[in-house]
Amino acid sequence: AQKVTQAQTEISVVEKEDVTLDCVYETRDTTYYLFWYKQPPSGELVFLIRRNSFDEQNEISGRYSWNFQKSTSSFNFTITASQVVDSAVYFCALSEAYSGTYKYIFGTGTRLKVLA
């Protein structure tokens, strides 16, 4: 069965520290997509990244980087030199292609608190 696990419920760091948010997924499909979204206090989910199952290249975007490892079914997200504005809830999600619906399965989220 498909499942996304974000074992870290809440993380607190001091500004400028690096922090990694973990995401482990389960799927029976060979073609799938993985996502990260940010939910600031305002509530709207903001898209950060999509990765397909055939592309295991790590990605870096400014202070954000993502590490995708199919061997361990993980798609971890690292924020370098964290800032107070990074404080939010971060969700990892999985979308499978086999059904044709591309429905998302979300993890339960990790709340990140960056302290000044």
Partner 1 sequence: DGGITQSPKYLFRKEGQNVTLSCEQNLNHDAMYWYRQDPGQGLRLIYYSQIVNDFQKGDIAEGYSVSREKKESFPLTVTSAQKNPTAFYLCASSMQGNIQYFGAGTRLSVL
Task: Decide if 20 contacts 76 (C-beta within 8 A).
Answer: yes
Candidate list 27, 107, 112, 114; residue touching partner 1; CB under 8 A:
107
The residue among 89 and 114 lying less far from partner 1, judged by its C-beta, is 89
The residue among 16 and 102 lying less far from partner 1, judged by its C-beta, is 102
- Burial state string for 88-108 with b = 16 or more CB within 10 A and e = fewer than 16: bbbbbbbbbeeeeeeeebebe
Q: Are strands 110-115 and 10-14 parallel, antiparallel or unpaired?
A: parallel
Residue 3 in the binding site for partner 1 (CB under 8 A): no
Candidate list 8, 19, 25, 35; residue touching partner 1; CB under 8 A:
35
Residue 97 in the binding site for partner 1 (CB under 8 A): yes
Residue 61 in the binding site for partner 1 (CB under 8 A): no
For residue 21, the cross-strand partners are: 77
